[in-house]
Amino acid sequence: MDWHDFDWVDAFSARPFGGNGCAVVHGGSHLSVETCMAFVRETSLVECTFTGPSDVADVRVRYFLASREIPFAGHPTIATVAAMRARGFLEKDDLVLETGAGLVPIRIRGDDIEMTQIAPRFGAQIPVDLVARVIGLPADAIVSPPQMVSTGLPFCITVLRDRAALDAAVLNVDALRDLAASQGYKGSDMLEPFMVTLSGATLAGDTYARLLIAPPSPPEDPFTGSATGAMAAYLWKHGLMDKETFTAEQGHGMGRPGQARVTRVGPAQAMTGVKVAGQGFVLMRGQVCLPQ
């Protein structure tokens, strides 16, 4: 059993209790998968990170859900950099993180933390009726073909007609398992649709999104940075977003408003990356005693 410093950070928010929370365990990248998942369950957060030394980058970051390790996640990346910066662990404003999805460049400018997600990978289009059943909506609420897209973690990007449809969505876990199985995923690997509308929750936003999640994670994610990058890539590729930089919003319906600035890298039909930027508020810090 060892003691580790940790920080609890609200990512994609400049204030407490906004955006999406993440606990960052410093020096914990060597811990077992079982210990890391148990820690996530103990916090009741969607994801937590565990940092450590890297031979190929400035810092190694491991990302965990309550049910499994994942290669990359957006809001925990913002949280991790915000936590390390607040503790004085960073000596420069441009750094690189080693993640399971590859090397992720980070740029810090003022209070903004910008990550460059990898070039988008566009996968299969998913039948509208299957996705509609997963989110409990009529098929005509979906206005563009749902498609698997990844900028480090795959999501089924689903564009809805309006805010009313977005607010009415309810997750059907059995249908979600059918969707995951149709794409070759098994067990706890789920492919929850990332639902988005082409108007903001506020006048400042260009898009507004929700992500409903299967157990044992909490039922909804307040802000999903990796999905935001995949969503932006989808909108650009399909001609649904004219701006090269836009403001994405999520979490307002949960009372945890979050906001990100999203920027395209390269032309819409040949993107080489997606930049997602936001702030992080360190809400609390302490120590945790964890088994190896």
Catalytically annotated residues: 47
Q: What is the DSSP string of 202-271?
A: STT-SEEEEEE--TTS-SEES--HHHHHHHHHHHHHTT----SEEEEEE-GGGT--EEEEEEEES-TTS-
Cα end-to-end span (Å), the chain:
6
CB within 8 Å of 98: residues ≥ 6 apart:
54, 56, 57, 59, 60, 61
Residue in the block written with tokens 């309810």: 170
Q: Measuring CA to CA, which residue among 292, 282, 284, 280 is closest to residue 12?
A: 280
Phi and psi at residue 102, to the nearest 5°: 120, -165
* Two tokens, residue 237: 């590729």
SS (H, E, C) 83-106: HHHHCCCCCCCEEEEEECCEEEEE
Say if CB 118 and CB 97 are below 8 A apart: no
Please name the residues in contact with 270: beta carbons below 8 A apart, sequence gap of 6 or more.
none
Closest CA to 141 of 131, 154, 151: 131
